Protein backbone atom coordinates (compact mmCIF):
# COMPACT_ATOMS: atom_id res chain seq x y z
CA UNK A 1 0.00 0.00 0.00
CA UNK A 2 2.82 2.34 0.77
CA UNK A 3 5.09 1.42 -2.01
CA UNK A 4 5.60 3.08 -5.31
CA UNK A 5 7.28 1.10 -8.06
CA UNK A 6 4.75 0.98 -10.83
CA UNK A 7 4.27 -0.71 -14.11
CA UNK A 8 5.53 2.43 -15.74
CA UNK A 9 8.79 2.28 -13.87
CA UNK A 10 9.28 -1.21 -15.17
CA UNK A 11 8.32 -0.15 -18.66
CA UNK A 12 10.83 2.68 -18.60
CA UNK A 13 13.64 0.47 -17.40
CA UNK A 14 12.83 -2.21 -19.94
CA UNK A 15 12.49 0.34 -22.70
CA UNK A 16 8.96 -0.69 -23.66
CA UNK A 17 5.49 0.65 -23.05
CA UNK A 18 3.27 -0.06 -20.07
CA UNK A 19 0.83 -2.14 -22.07
CA UNK A 20 3.62 -4.41 -23.13
CA UNK A 21 4.74 -4.96 -19.59
CA UNK A 22 1.20 -5.80 -18.62
CA UNK A 23 1.00 -8.35 -21.39
CA UNK A 24 4.40 -9.79 -20.60
CA UNK A 25 3.22 -10.42 -17.12
CA UNK A 26 -0.26 -11.75 -17.74
CA UNK A 27 0.11 -13.51 -21.07
CA UNK A 28 3.83 -14.11 -21.56
CA UNK A 29 3.27 -15.88 -24.86
CA UNK A 30 1.88 -12.77 -26.41
CA UNK A 31 5.17 -10.90 -26.42
CA UNK A 32 8.48 -11.70 -28.03
CA UNK A 33 10.87 -13.80 -25.99
CA UNK A 34 13.42 -11.06 -25.72
CA UNK A 35 10.91 -8.45 -24.67
CA UNK A 36 9.66 -10.85 -22.04
CA UNK A 37 13.22 -11.34 -20.87
CA UNK A 38 13.86 -7.68 -20.60
CA UNK A 39 10.63 -7.01 -18.76
CA UNK A 40 11.21 -9.84 -16.31
CA UNK A 41 14.67 -8.59 -15.63
CA UNK A 42 13.39 -5.11 -14.94
CA UNK A 43 10.68 -6.47 -12.66
CA UNK A 44 13.30 -8.36 -10.78
CA UNK A 45 15.67 -5.47 -10.51
CA UNK A 46 13.05 -3.06 -9.31
CA UNK A 47 11.32 -5.54 -7.06
CA UNK A 48 8.07 -4.66 -8.73
CA UNK A 49 4.91 -6.00 -7.12
CA UNK A 50 1.66 -5.38 -8.99
CA UNK A 51 -0.92 -3.18 -7.36
CA UNK A 52 -3.90 -5.46 -7.06
CA UNK A 53 -6.32 -2.63 -6.59
CA UNK A 54 -5.42 -1.14 -9.92
CA UNK A 55 -5.43 -4.52 -11.55
CA UNK A 56 -8.82 -5.29 -10.16
CA UNK A 57 -10.26 -1.97 -11.13
CA UNK A 58 -9.00 -2.18 -14.67
CA UNK A 59 -9.41 -5.85 -15.30
CA UNK A 60 -12.45 -6.67 -13.26
CA UNK A 61 -10.67 -9.48 -11.50
CA UNK A 62 -9.16 -9.25 -8.07
CA UNK A 63 -6.96 -12.35 -7.96
CA UNK A 64 -8.24 -12.92 -4.50
CA UNK A 65 -10.84 -15.08 -2.87
CA UNK A 66 -12.53 -15.02 0.48
CA UNK A 67 -13.28 -17.73 2.94
CA UNK A 68 -15.86 -17.36 5.67
CA UNK A 69 -15.82 -19.67 8.68
CA UNK A 70 -17.95 -19.78 11.82
CA UNK A 71 -14.85 -19.90 14.00
CA UNK A 72 -11.24 -20.03 12.92
CA UNK A 73 -10.35 -21.26 16.36
CA UNK A 74 -12.00 -24.57 15.58
CA UNK A 75 -9.30 -26.87 14.17
CA UNK A 76 -11.78 -28.32 11.72
CA UNK A 77 -12.12 -24.98 9.96
CA UNK A 78 -8.54 -23.98 10.56
CA UNK A 79 -7.45 -27.05 8.61
CA UNK A 80 -9.73 -26.25 5.71
CA UNK A 81 -8.56 -22.65 5.64
CA UNK A 82 -4.98 -23.82 5.78
CA UNK A 83 -5.30 -25.98 2.72
CA UNK A 84 -7.45 -23.62 0.75
CA UNK A 85 -5.09 -20.76 1.32
CA UNK A 86 -2.08 -22.85 0.40
CA UNK A 87 -3.60 -23.76 -2.88
CA UNK A 88 -4.78 -20.22 -3.54
CA UNK A 89 -1.36 -18.81 -2.90
CA UNK A 90 0.15 -21.39 -5.20
CA UNK A 91 -1.83 -19.78 -8.00
CA UNK A 92 -0.78 -16.35 -6.79
CA UNK A 93 -4.01 -15.32 -5.24
CA UNK A 94 -4.63 -13.65 -1.96
CA UNK A 95 -7.14 -14.90 0.54
CA UNK A 96 -9.35 -12.82 2.74
CA UNK A 97 -10.59 -14.42 5.90
CA UNK A 98 -13.77 -13.68 7.75
CA UNK A 99 -14.69 -15.30 11.02
CA UNK A 100 -18.41 -14.92 11.58
CA UNK A 101 -18.17 -15.82 15.22
CA UNK A 102 -21.03 -18.27 14.68
CA UNK A 103 -23.37 -15.44 13.97
CA UNK A 104 -25.68 -15.57 11.00
CA UNK A 105 -25.73 -11.83 10.90
CA UNK A 106 -21.98 -11.44 10.81
CA UNK A 107 -21.77 -14.12 8.18
CA UNK A 108 -24.19 -12.24 6.00
CA UNK A 109 -22.38 -8.95 6.55
CA UNK A 110 -19.09 -10.56 5.69
CA UNK A 111 -20.49 -12.02 2.50
CA UNK A 112 -21.85 -8.63 1.53
CA UNK A 113 -18.72 -6.62 2.13
CA UNK A 114 -16.47 -9.27 0.66
CA UNK A 115 -18.50 -9.92 -2.43
CA UNK A 116 -17.56 -6.69 -4.08
CA UNK A 117 -13.90 -7.29 -3.54
CA UNK A 118 -13.01 -10.83 -4.36
CA UNK A 119 -13.51 -13.18 -7.28
CA UNK A 120 -15.37 -15.72 -5.22
CA UNK A 121 -16.31 -16.78 -1.72
CA UNK A 122 -16.08 -20.08 0.09
CA UNK A 123 -18.53 -20.33 2.95
CA UNK A 124 -17.80 -23.05 5.46
CA UNK A 125 -20.70 -24.54 7.34
CA UNK A 126 -23.09 -21.77 6.31
CA UNK A 127 -25.35 -20.50 9.06
CA UNK A 128 -27.55 -18.10 7.15
CA UNK A 129 -30.03 -19.39 4.64
CA UNK A 130 -28.82 -19.99 1.14
CA UNK A 131 -31.18 -17.31 -0.07
CA UNK A 132 -29.77 -14.74 2.31
CA UNK A 133 -26.23 -15.53 1.38
CA UNK A 134 -27.00 -15.48 -2.29
CA UNK A 135 -28.64 -12.10 -2.10
CA UNK A 136 -25.98 -10.48 0.02
CA UNK A 137 -23.23 -11.68 -2.23
CA UNK A 138 -24.89 -10.21 -5.30
CA UNK A 139 -23.68 -12.51 -7.97
CA UNK A 140 -20.20 -13.24 -6.73
CA UNK A 141 -19.54 -16.96 -7.11
CA UNK A 142 -19.97 -18.92 -3.90
CA UNK A 143 -19.20 -22.43 -2.86
CA UNK A 144 -20.44 -24.07 0.28
CA UNK A 145 -18.46 -26.41 2.45
CA UNK A 146 -20.42 -28.85 4.54
CA UNK A 147 -23.81 -27.94 3.23
CA UNK A 148 -25.51 -28.90 0.06
CA UNK A 149 -28.01 -26.59 -1.54
CA UNK A 150 -29.93 -26.57 -4.74
CA UNK A 151 -28.01 -24.98 -7.57
CA UNK A 152 -24.97 -24.22 -5.46
CA UNK A 153 -21.51 -25.66 -5.78
CA UNK A 154 -20.52 -27.42 -2.63
CA UNK A 155 -18.14 -29.87 -1.14
CA UNK A 156 -19.61 -32.06 1.50
CA UNK A 157 -18.48 -34.96 3.58
CA UNK A 158 -20.38 -38.12 2.95
CA UNK A 159 -22.58 -38.26 6.04
CA UNK A 160 -24.15 -41.57 5.17
CA UNK A 161 -20.70 -43.09 5.02
CA UNK A 162 -19.71 -41.39 8.25
CA UNK A 163 -22.57 -43.07 10.06
CA UNK A 164 -21.98 -46.37 8.34
CA UNK A 165 -18.29 -46.50 9.15
CA UNK A 166 -18.90 -45.70 12.78
CA UNK A 167 -21.73 -48.16 13.24
CA UNK A 168 -20.12 -50.97 11.32
CA UNK A 169 -16.89 -50.51 13.22
CA UNK A 170 -18.74 -51.01 16.47
CA UNK A 171 -20.62 -53.93 14.98
CA UNK A 172 -17.41 -55.63 13.95
CA UNK A 173 -16.15 -55.19 17.44
CA UNK A 174 -19.09 -57.22 18.64
CA UNK A 175 -21.26 -54.50 20.07
CA UNK A 176 -24.95 -55.38 20.17
CA UNK A 177 -26.27 -52.18 21.63
CA UNK A 178 -25.01 -48.79 20.66
CA UNK A 179 -26.03 -45.26 21.46
CA UNK A 180 -26.11 -42.47 18.91
CA UNK A 181 -25.83 -38.78 19.67
CA UNK A 182 -27.66 -36.67 17.10
CA UNK A 183 -26.32 -33.23 16.30
CA UNK A 184 -28.21 -29.96 16.61
CA UNK A 185 -31.26 -29.96 14.41
CA UNK A 186 -30.12 -26.75 12.80
CA UNK A 187 -27.12 -28.49 11.24
CA UNK A 188 -27.50 -29.74 7.76
CA UNK A 189 -25.27 -32.69 8.58
CA UNK A 190 -27.34 -33.70 11.60
CA UNK A 191 -30.42 -34.13 9.51
CA UNK A 192 -28.62 -36.19 6.93
CA UNK A 193 -26.98 -38.39 9.51
CA UNK A 194 -30.25 -39.23 11.14
CA UNK A 195 -31.60 -40.42 7.84
CA UNK A 196 -28.46 -42.41 7.24
CA UNK A 197 -28.69 -44.01 10.64
CA UNK A 198 -32.17 -45.27 9.88
CA UNK A 199 -30.93 -46.80 6.65
CA UNK A 200 -27.96 -48.49 8.24
CA UNK A 201 -29.99 -49.84 11.12
CA UNK A 202 -32.33 -51.51 8.71
CA UNK A 203 -29.43 -53.56 7.42
CA UNK A 204 -28.58 -54.85 10.86
CA UNK A 205 -31.79 -55.83 12.58
CA UNK A 206 -29.92 -57.58 15.35
CA UNK A 207 -28.37 -54.29 16.47
CA UNK A 208 -30.07 -52.35 19.21
CA UNK A 209 -29.69 -48.61 18.80
CA UNK A 210 -30.56 -46.02 21.39
CA UNK A 211 -31.03 -42.55 20.02
CA UNK A 212 -29.96 -40.11 22.68
CA UNK A 213 -31.07 -36.53 23.02
CA UNK A 214 -29.23 -33.94 21.01
CA UNK A 215 -26.27 -32.26 22.70
CA UNK A 216 -24.10 -29.41 21.63
CA UNK A 217 -21.30 -30.60 19.36
CA UNK A 218 -18.60 -29.47 21.73
CA UNK A 219 -16.71 -30.55 24.82
CA UNK A 220 -19.36 -29.35 27.23
CA UNK A 221 -22.12 -30.95 25.24
CA UNK A 222 -20.21 -34.18 25.52
CA UNK A 223 -19.91 -33.83 29.25
CA UNK A 224 -23.62 -33.37 29.65
CA UNK A 225 -24.22 -36.25 27.34
CA UNK A 226 -22.06 -38.53 29.46
CA UNK A 227 -24.65 -38.41 32.18
CA UNK A 228 -27.40 -39.70 29.95
CA UNK A 229 -25.23 -42.34 28.41
CA UNK A 230 -24.78 -44.38 31.54
CA UNK A 231 -28.50 -44.92 31.71
CA UNK A 232 -28.62 -46.13 28.16
CA UNK A 233 -26.49 -49.16 29.07
CA UNK A 234 -25.09 -49.34 25.58
CA UNK A 235 -21.60 -50.75 25.11
CA UNK A 236 -20.75 -48.56 22.16
CA UNK A 237 -21.42 -44.96 21.24
CA UNK A 238 -21.26 -42.78 18.18
CA UNK A 239 -20.63 -39.15 19.06
CA UNK A 240 -21.49 -36.28 16.78
CA UNK A 241 -17.92 -35.10 16.53
CA UNK A 242 -14.51 -35.32 18.15
CA UNK A 243 -15.02 -32.45 20.56
CA UNK A 244 -18.14 -34.02 21.88
CA UNK A 245 -16.47 -37.40 22.09
CA UNK A 246 -13.70 -35.85 24.12
CA UNK A 247 -16.21 -34.43 26.56
CA UNK A 248 -17.96 -37.74 26.82
CA UNK A 249 -14.73 -39.58 27.46
CA UNK A 250 -13.33 -37.30 30.12
CA UNK A 251 -16.65 -37.05 31.92
CA UNK A 252 -17.23 -40.78 31.75
CA UNK A 253 -13.80 -41.43 33.17
CA UNK A 254 -14.29 -39.02 36.00
CA UNK A 255 -17.60 -40.76 36.62
CA UNK A 256 -15.66 -43.91 37.20
CA UNK A 257 -16.11 -45.61 33.87
CA UNK A 258 -13.28 -47.11 31.94
CA UNK A 259 -12.91 -46.26 28.28
CA UNK A 260 -13.00 -48.32 26.12
CA UNK A 261 -13.68 -51.24 28.45
CA UNK A 262 -17.02 -50.02 29.69
CA UNK A 263 -17.89 -48.03 26.63
CA UNK A 264 -16.42 -47.84 23.15
CA UNK A 265 -16.61 -44.39 21.66
CA UNK A 266 -16.33 -43.27 18.05
CA UNK A 267 -15.90 -39.61 17.18
CA UNK A 268 -16.19 -37.84 13.87
CA UNK A 269 -14.03 -35.27 12.04
CA UNK A 270 -10.58 -36.68 12.60
CA UNK A 271 -9.08 -33.70 14.33
CA UNK A 272 -5.41 -33.92 15.30
CA UNK A 273 -6.02 -33.93 19.03
CA UNK A 274 -7.72 -37.31 18.74
CA UNK A 275 -4.31 -38.84 18.45
CA UNK A 276 -2.87 -37.07 21.43
CA UNK A 277 -5.52 -37.81 23.99
CA UNK A 278 -5.70 -40.67 26.43
CA UNK A 279 -7.26 -42.90 25.36
CA UNK A 280 -6.65 -41.88 21.79
CA UNK A 281 -9.85 -41.40 19.87
CA UNK A 282 -11.24 -43.72 17.27
CA UNK A 283 -12.92 -41.46 14.76
CA UNK A 284 -14.40 -41.20 11.32
CA UNK A 285 -12.04 -38.67 9.84
CA UNK A 286 -12.85 -36.19 7.12
CA UNK A 287 -10.19 -35.61 4.46
CA UNK A 288 -9.82 -31.95 5.32
CA UNK A 289 -7.10 -31.24 2.85
CA UNK A 290 -9.20 -32.60 0.03
CA UNK A 291 -12.12 -30.56 1.26
CA UNK A 292 -10.13 -27.35 1.24
CA UNK A 293 -8.60 -27.96 -2.14
CA UNK A 294 -11.77 -29.12 -3.82
CA UNK A 295 -13.58 -26.10 -2.50
CA UNK A 296 -11.12 -23.90 -4.35
CA UNK A 297 -11.41 -25.98 -7.50
CA UNK A 298 -15.15 -25.65 -7.42
CA UNK A 299 -14.88 -21.94 -6.83
CA UNK A 300 -12.64 -21.64 -9.85
CA UNK A 301 -15.18 -23.49 -11.92
CA UNK A 302 -17.87 -21.10 -10.76
CA UNK A 303 -15.65 -18.13 -11.49
CA UNK A 304 -15.07 -19.47 -14.96
CA UNK A 305 -18.77 -19.75 -15.47
CA UNK A 306 -18.96 -23.51 -15.45
CA UNK A 307 -21.96 -25.31 -14.11
CA UNK A 308 -22.36 -25.65 -10.37
CA UNK A 309 -21.76 -29.01 -8.90
CA UNK A 310 -21.59 -30.70 -5.57
CA UNK A 311 -18.80 -33.06 -4.69
CA UNK A 312 -18.98 -35.50 -1.86
CA UNK A 313 -15.77 -36.61 -0.23
CA UNK A 314 -15.36 -39.84 1.65
CA UNK A 315 -14.44 -39.97 5.30
CA UNK A 316 -12.37 -42.84 6.58
CA UNK A 317 -12.18 -44.72 9.83
CA UNK A 318 -9.20 -44.09 12.09
CA UNK A 319 -8.96 -46.94 14.58
CA UNK A 320 -7.49 -45.92 17.85
CA UNK A 321 -7.97 -46.87 21.44
CA UNK A 322 -11.31 -45.44 22.46
CA UNK A 323 -13.02 -48.49 20.99
CA UNK A 324 -12.37 -52.11 21.77
CA UNK A 325 -13.73 -55.49 20.97
CA UNK A 326 -16.51 -56.76 23.14
CA UNK A 327 -15.58 -60.30 22.20
CA UNK A 328 -12.00 -60.67 23.31
CA UNK A 329 -11.66 -57.56 25.40
CA UNK A 330 -8.91 -56.49 23.03
CA UNK A 331 -8.72 -53.17 21.34
CA UNK A 332 -9.55 -53.50 17.69
Q: Tell me the three state secondary structure of residue 196.
A: helix
Burial tier of 12 (Cβ tally within 10 Å: 0-12, 13-18, 19+) = middle
- Residue from 54, 227, 278, 327 touching DNA (CB under 7 A): that is 54
Among 20, 128, 130, 140, binds its own copies (CB under 8 A): 140
HEC profile of 32-93? CHHHHHHHHHHHHHHCCCCCHHHHHHHHCCCCEEEEEECCCCCHHHHHHHHHHHHHHHHCCC
Neighbours of 5 (CB within 10 A): 15
Binding partner selected for residue 7 from DNA, its own copies, none, CB under the kind-specific 5 to 8 Å limit? DNA
Is 21 a binding residue for its own copies by CB under 8 A? The answer is no
**Does 2 interact with DNA (rule: CB under 7 A)?**
no
The answer to whether the CB of 241 falls within 8 A of the CB of 217 is: yes
Helices 33-46 and 7-14, interaxial angle, to 10°? Answer: 120
Query: Which region among 24-32, 65-73, 91-99, 278-286 touches DNA (by CB under 7 A)?
Result: 24-32
Answer with the entry of its own copies, DNA, none that 64 interacts with (C-beta below 5 to 8 A by kind): its own copies
**How would you class 237 by CB atoms within 10 Å of its CB: exposed for 0-12, middle for 13-18, buried for 19 or more?**
buried
> Looking at 12, 56, 232, 290, which residue binds its own copies (CB under 8 A)?
56
Quick one: which of 57, 198, 227, 278 contacts DNA (CB under 7 A)? 57
Residue 17 touches which of DNA, its own copies, none (Cβ within 5-8 Å per kind): DNA
- Residue 41 near its own copies by CB under 8 A: no
Is 30 a binding residue for DNA by CB under 7 A? The answer is yes
Q: How far apart are CA 21 and CA 103, in angstroms?
A: 45
CB of 40 to DNA, least distance (A): 12
Q: Which of residues 176-215 bind DNA (CB under 7 A)?
A: none
Q: What radius of gyration, in Å, describes the C-alpha atoms of the chain?
A: 25
Question: How many whole angstroms separate alpha carbon 96 and alpha carbon 288?
Answer: 19
Residues 6+ apart with CB under 8 A from 173: 236, 264, 323, 324, 325, 326, 327, 332
**Calpha distance 241→283 (Å, rounded):** 8
Beta bridge partners of 310: 154
Binding its own copies by CB under 8 A: which of 13, 25, 114, 268?
A: 114
Candidates 16-24, 29-37, 153-161, 249-257; binding stretch for its own copies (CB under 8 A): 249-257
Instruction: Using the minimum distance from each CB to DNA, give the nearer residue, 25 or 326.
Output: 25
Positions that interact with its own copies (CB under 8 A): 1-3, 47, 49-54, 56-57, 60-62, 64, 71-73, 75, 78-79, 81-82, 85-86, 89, 92, 94-99, 101, 106, 110, 112-120, 138-141, 219, 246-247, 250, 253-254, 272-273, 276-278
Positions that interact with DNA (CB under 7 A): 4, 6-8, 15-23, 25-26, 30-32, 34-35, 48, 50-51, 54-55, 57-61
Amino acid sequence: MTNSITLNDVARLAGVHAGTVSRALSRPESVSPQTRERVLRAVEELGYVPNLAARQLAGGKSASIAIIVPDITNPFFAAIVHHTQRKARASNRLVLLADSNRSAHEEKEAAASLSRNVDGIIVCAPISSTKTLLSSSKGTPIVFVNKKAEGMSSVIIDQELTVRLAVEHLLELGHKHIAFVPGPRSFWSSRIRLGALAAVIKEYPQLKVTLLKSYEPDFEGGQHCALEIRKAKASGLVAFNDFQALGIITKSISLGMSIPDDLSIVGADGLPFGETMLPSLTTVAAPLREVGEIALDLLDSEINGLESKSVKVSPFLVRRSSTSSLLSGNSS
